[in-house]
Amino acid sequence: MGDTVAAATARALAAAGIDRVFGLPGGEVLVLIDELRRVGVDFVLMRHEANAGIAAAVYGKLRRQPGVVLTTLGPGAANLMLPLGNAYLDQEPLVAISAQIPDDFPASHTHQLLPLQDVYRPVTRLVEKITSRNAGDAVARAIAACMTRPFGTAYLTLSAREALKPIDEEPPPGGAASAGPIRSRIRSWIRSRIGSRIGSRIRSRIGSRIGSRIGSRIRSRIGSRIGSWI
């Protein structure tokens, strides 16, 4: 098995120069905290999520890089409004990461479920969900958004279930990589069928020589246009 989403996220933070993350953990982010320590990023335990976010913003400001705060989901993540709002107004670079309910949970599951992305979108430049397909890229985009002057904030979510998944770097089988030969076959089939039918009708009506010339032109024009739609 390759790297997990949590490992890729931690590695992306370390590659950006992040050496310290502030927060108040819950069971949903323990895997990410463990991966942060594996790559040499310290986790600073705080007594409240708001305090953790403010400390992270100050620490990042002193080091001229984004501060990073990590929290659990639900009310713990809701406590990030104070540091995110403060950093947004004061133009301080701050990346906030919190857990979230997995997408495949039933709609009836409402415990600890809040519309966090909708809540924080007005006070951040970037809101994104970390998945197996974008783990490293999502962190890089968040840091870039925070460091674009004037400095700003970003908010990322990562569910405990997604954190354990292996990162997905290969294209799905039968996807874009294998679509070329199939499309070329469909195009050639359309050109031969439609072009031949139109050409035969023209030849039968206005003569064989002139009809064959016109029919060949129509086959090339119409067939290529229809084939390009696919």
pLDDT tens figures, 147-160 = 999 999 999 999 98
Please give the pLDDT value at position 29.
92
How would residue 183 be classed by pLDDT, with cut points 50, 70 and 90?
Answer: very low
Number of domains observed in the structure of the chain = 2
Do 59 and 158 reside in the same domain of the chain?
yes
Do 183 and 146 reside in the same domain of the chain?
no
**Mean pLDDT to the nearest integer, 99-119:** 70
To the question of pTM greater than 0.75 for the whole model, the response is: no
Last residue of a domain, one of 163, 188, 211: 163
Do 132 and 103 reside in the same domain of the chain?
yes
Question: Domain containing 118 — which CATH number?
Answer: 3.40.50.970
Using CA atoms, how far apart are residues 28 and 69, in angstroms rounded to an integer? 15
Using CA atoms, how far apart are residues 209 and 145, in angstroms rounded to an integer? 66
Flag whether pLDDT at 193 surpasses 60.
no
pLDDT tens for each residue of 12-48: 999 999 999 999 988 889 999 999 999 999 999 999 9
pLDDT tens for each residue of 60-87: 999 999 999 999 998 899 999 999 999 9
Query: Positive or negative, the Cα torsion across 167, 172, 176, 180?
Result: positive
Do 141 and 193 reside in the same domain of the chain?
no
- Give the sheet arrangement for strand 20-24, strand by strand: 42-45, 20-24, 67-71, 94-98, 153-157, 126-129
The whole domain housing 58 covers 5-163
Stronger pLDDT, 73 or 215, i.e. the higher one: 73
Chain mean pLDDT for the chain: 81
